[in-house]
Structure formats: C-alpha cells, structure tokens
Amino acid sequence: MPTDATPGNAGSPAAGPRTGKEYIAALDDGRTVHVGGKLVGNVAEHPAFAGIVATMAAVYDAAGEPDSPLVDPDTGGLALFTIPRTWEQHELRKRALEHWCRLTHGFIGRGPDHVSGVLAGFASHPAVFDTDRHQLGANVVAFHEYAAARGLWITNSIVPPQHNPTDPTSRVRPVQLVEERSDGIVVDGAQMLGTGAAVADEIFVTSVRPLSPGDEAKALSFIIPIATPGLRLICRRPYATSGGPFDYPLSARFDETDAMVVFDRVLVPWERVFAAGSVEVVNRQFFGTAAHQIGNLQSIIRLTAKLRFLTGVASLIVRANGRDRDPAIRHELADLAGIQTVSEALTESAHAFATQDEAGVYRPAGKYLYAALGMQTEVYPRAVKILGELAAGGVIQVPAAAGDLLDADEAAAMEVLMGSDRLPLAERVKLFKLAWDLVGSEFAGRHVQYERFYSGAVPVVKGYAYRFYPFAEAEALATGFLDSYGLPTPAGAAAGVAGRAA
Ligand SMILES: Cc1cc2nc3c(=O)[nH]c(=O)nc-3n(C[C@H](O)[C@H](O)[C@H](O)COP(=O)(O)OP(=O)(O)OC[C@H]3O[C@@H](n4cnc5c(N)ncnc54)[C@H](O)[C@@H]3O)c2cc1C
C-alpha cells in the first residue's frame, strides 16, 4: 500500500519548505550509524553531528523567511529542485544556490543543494531510464516530485571502495544487484563514501565511473532512505568534537561528516529504482541527461563562496598584523583575489552561456563549468597555502582553549604577546583560531582532500574539461597560422626569409 514515503504519492505542492525542526525530527528514524565502534542513537543529539544538524536546520528555516530566494514561488518548495526549462527558472536555481552557499560559506559539499540538481536533470530526460527490460523513467519523475515536495536532503555514494582489484584475496564487493523480486531489487556490498550521509534523509547510489559490458550486476541507480533496513554507515573520526566552537569554529558548525556505506542485502522497492542491470542506462544517466551539468553548477558556486570566505579571513589576518601596506603581502592577497575571481567568472560564464538541450532544459555551459571543476583540485590547496603563509606562526601562537582567556593570570600573561587596544586579545585569538580551522586542523586537511577528490581523481575531472573544450576552434587558429608560411624558396633561404602562403 502506498504510504507517505512512497514516491508517486507526492500529494499537493508543499505549502512551504519544511522547517529546521521538521528536518531534525525526521532524523530520529532508527538509522544505523557507527562512530568509533559505537552505534549512535538519534544523530541529532550526538556531539559528532549536533553542530552540522543545527547548521542545516538553520538553513531550512531560512527558506521559510519571507521572499526567501531559496523558494520557487511556483511550487512553494525549494528552488534547488526546479527543472530549469525557462531562463527565469535557470536564474531562480542560481540565486537559490548562491544564497544556500552563502549561508554555509561553501563548506557543505553534499548538502540538499547537490543531488536535487542531479534529480532535476534526470527528471527532465526520463526516457534515458527506459529500456526493453525495465521502464523506470516514470520512477525518476515521480521521485523527483516526491523529494521536491518534501525538500529532502539526499546525498550520494557513487564510487566503489578503494581496493586492489588484482588482489585475489580481496573480499571487497562494490555494491551490486543480487536479486530481482516482484517488490524490488536486493543489493549487497559497499560504496566508498557518503558525505553527509549520517545526517541526510536519503542516499543516491550508482556508479559515476563508466561501466563495461559484463558489469551488469554493478549497473545500479537508486535512492533509498538512510534508515532502510540493512543499510549501515561507518563514519570517519568526527571533527566537531575537536574542541569548542571558539577553538574550532568551522569544525563545530560545518563538519558534514563522511561515512563508508555498507549494504547487507538491502531491499530497494521498485519505485526507488532508476536502473537495475543496465550498463547503458548507468553510463548515460549523467551526460545523456542534464544531470551532471545542473548538479555541478552547485559545485562551482559552492567553491566560489568558500574561496571568498577564505580571502576575507586572509585579508583580516594581514590587517591584524598591519601588513596591508606591504607590497609583497599585497601580492599574495592579490593572488588569492585572482583565484577567487577566476572561480566566480567561470561560474558566471557557465550560467550566462547556458543553452537549452533537446528537452528544452538549460544546461550550464560545459566549457566554463568543467574548467572551474578541473581547476579546483589545484586552486583550493593553493589558496589554503597562501592563507597559511600569511598567517604563519600566528595560528600556533594561541592558547590551547577558549577557557584560558577566561583565566585572569593566563590572559594577563598573553597580553604581552598579543594585547592591543585596536585588536583585543580575545578577538585576535578568535581570528587566528578560525584561520587554523582553514589551514591546519583535521577539518582543514579534509577540505583540501575534498576539493582534490570529491569529483573524482584528477584525470577524471580534467577529462570532463577536455571533453567540453572546443579544441577544433583553437586548432583552426594554429592551422591558419601554420598555413600562412611554408618552406623558404632557395633564394629566400639564402636571405633568411620564410615563404608566405598566398
Ligand atoms: C573528503 C572526501 C569526501 C568524499 N565524498 C564522497 C561522496 O560523498 N560520495 C562519493 O561517491 N564519493 C566521495 N568521495 C570519494 C571520491 O569520489 C573518490 O576519492 C574519488 O573518486 C577518487 O577515487 P579514489 O579515492 O578511489 O582514488 P583513486 O581513483 O584510486 O586514485 C588514486 C590516485 O590514482 C590517480 N589516478 C586515478 N585514476 C587515474 C588514471 N586514470 N590515470 C592516472 N592516475 C589516476 C589519482 O589521481 C590519485 O592520485 C570523497 C572523497 C573525499 C576525499
């Protein structure tokens, strides 16, 4: 019997996006989440997750504010799910993404703003999911409506566990189809990671890596609630518990957490299956639809927001040390500003040069989109390095914890190291602790690794950029120039002059 959790039963359009309170309440659903060998009860109450849950609840609440740019006035739901069929809808999505990323300063990679775009891309091209064996396009459309009506946070897990495929003793099994039943498919195995999975509503599982004939068992695409029986999450070390919000301000609020995803014979109901056993569908779903391009507009808007935030911290650090007039330091800040501006310019271009595909859906321009995505693997580590250079020992010359500043003797001792009327001790320590959470903490290191790998290994990401660059146009210029001269005539050679084409 269809229930409220059954796609196809989306009901009337949302009266408005759900509130933060409703998001938090939905997390208490009996999901299986392990941290440090222990099973977590309600994630919203666990110290590893309470910070990120509060952050995301505040973002959901922001969508309820009057005239929030996060809301599509036509549906009353989150504009993140809107299929950009008109230029106005394309603009609406961009404004919603920018607002979302401003609220989270670009530190949430796999929040509700990513897979919502992927789904919008899928739902605009349902025929891609229909094969002779399974007609699943209608599932995609119904699930998109269902998720949009509820403003669900769906994360993704689209890469197999890292392992040695030539090791005959390996027990690693990327998630695969083990049974097809009348009520759904049974899947078993594991996926490498699901960022945000512990605190999301649902998870999208597939293979973003191209599959080959013979890989039918791995050819899956589906979305299920995190609380589905048999689904287990094994989380990495939480960073939110590194220290208090004064000492680790970013870790405390924005640790979206990452978890390995294990499937113990999980039953996926048919209405949540988009591909089962079709290599062709899995290989076509991202680029045969608008999904990859719409989904990744979020990636570059997010990176732009994060780089802007980092540049702001760097500029404050420089001013705190009175170095803002030093040409060498200005040079470093200008490099940072350049990195941020290039990211912003590519994002604006990807949006502005979007074109409608055969289904009438606006796809962000691939040339700019993938140039930005390909660049992030190098520019984010570089931006962090520049901030680290500017902050230097200042990020180490701080007391162990906020409590030290509350101790009068300790604070007096530190006054001779950092005291100033212009920048009081506590403010200085606060700023440099924020910088440390960007350049040196575990959270900081994870973010560098995230920007380098979340979209795939470097050759994969650059492969997208290669595919979308119009090399023929550039080649024509070079060829034209080459054609403008030739071998010198004997007389010209003697005079040292190359022959010119007519
Ligand atoms: C912080 C973080 C969060 C993540 N979150 C998610 C998530 O939410 N969902 C998800 O699905 N995945 C997630 N991932 C996983 C991510 O998708 C993978 O790390 C990425 O696809 C690379 O795969 P891999 O780690 O197995 O590295 P590998 O592919 O094994 O790469 C290892 C090394 O080999 C190089 N290499 C790989 N392929 C080639 C090639 N063809 N030619 C030459 N060199 C190559 C790489 O550049 C790299 O140096 C996350 C990763 C990180 C670091």
Question: Residue 80's closest CA among 250, 302, 288?
Answer: 302
Residue 84 in domain: yes
What's 270's DSSP letter? G
Q: Domain containing 84 — which CATH number?
A: 2.40.110.10
Residues 143 and 258 in one domain: yes
Residue 1 in domain: no
Ligand 1, pocket-test mutation among 108, 159, 254, most atoms within 8 A of CB: 159
What's 276's DSSP letter? E
Residue nearest to atom 31 of ligand 1 (CA): 457
List the structure tokens of 183: 């009520």
Residues 327 and 393 in one domain: yes
Q: Residue 225 is part of which domain span? A: 20-284
Q: Which atom of ligand 1 is nearest to the CA of 196?
A: 8
Residues of the chain predicted below pLDDT 50: 1-3, 9-13, 502
Three-state DSSP class for 285? coil
Residue 477 in domain: no
Q: How many CB atoms lie within 10 A of CB 67?
A: 6
Residues 310 and 247 in one domain: no
- Please, are residues 451 and 381 in contact by the beta-carbon 8 Å criterion? yes
Ligand 1, pocket-test mutation among 223, 296, 454, most atoms within 8 A of CB: 454
Residues 264 and 164 in one domain: yes
Residues 280 and 305 in one domain: no
Q: Which residues line ligand 1 (CB under 6 A)?
A: 110, 156-159, 162, 192-195, 258, 446, 449-450, 453-454, 456-459
Residues 168 and 252 in one domain: yes
Q: Domain containing 437 — which CATH number?
A: 1.20.140.10
Residue 292 in domain: no
Residue nearest to atom 39 of ligand 1 (CA): 459
Residue 120 in domain: yes
Tokens 């949430």 -> residue: 108
What's the Cα-to-Cα distance from 444 to each of 131, 310, 339, rounded to whole Å?
Answer: 45, 11, 18
Residues 102 and 192 in one domain: yes
What's the Cα-to-Cα distance from 387 to each of 121, 383, 384, 452, 476, rounded to whole Å?
Answer: 37, 6, 5, 18, 41
Residue 430 in domain: yes
Q: Which atom of ligand 1 is nearest to the CA of 449?
A: 53
| pLDDT at res. 501 | 54
Residues 155 and 99 in one domain: yes
Alpha-carbon span 101 to 93, nearest angstrom = 12
Residues 275 and 310 in one domain: no
List the structure tokens of 308: 């802007």
Ligand 1, pocket-test mutation among 164, 258, 453, most atoms within 8 A of CB: 453
- Please, are residues 154 and 26 in contact by the beta-carbon 8 Å criterion? no
The 3-class secondary structure across 6-42, one letter per residue, is CCCCCCCCCCCCCCHHHHHHHCCCCCEEEECCEECCC
* Residue at 359: amino acid letter: A
Residue 479 in domain: no
Residues 309 and 418 in one domain: yes
Which pLDDT tens digit goes with each residue over 185-239?
A: 999 999 999 999 999 999 999 999 999 999 999 999 999 999 999 999 999 999 9
Burial-class residue 281 by CB neighbours within 10 Å (0-12, 13-18, 19+): buried
Residues 346 and 383 in one domain: yes
* Residue at 189: amino acid letter: G
Number of domains forming the structure of the chain: 2
Residue 49 in domain: yes
Ligand 1 geometric centre to CA of 457 (Å): 4
Ligand 1, pocket-test mutation among 108, 166, 193, most atoms within 8 A of CB: 193
Ligand 1 geometric centre to CA of 277 (Å): 24
| pLDDT at res. 1 | 34
Dihedral pair phi/psi, residue 411, rounded to 5°: -60, -40
Residues 90 and 157 in one domain: yes
Ligand 1 geometric centre to CA of 451 (Å): 11
- Please, are residues 69 and 106 in contact by the beta-carbon 8 Å criterion? no
Question: Residue 228's closest CA among 256, 261, 202?
Answer: 202
What's 400's DSSP letter? S
Alpha-carbon span 183 to 153, nearest angstrom = 25
Three-state DSSP class for 259? strand
| pLDDT at res. 4 | 54
- Please, are residues 449 and 376 in contact by the beta-carbon 8 Å criterion? no
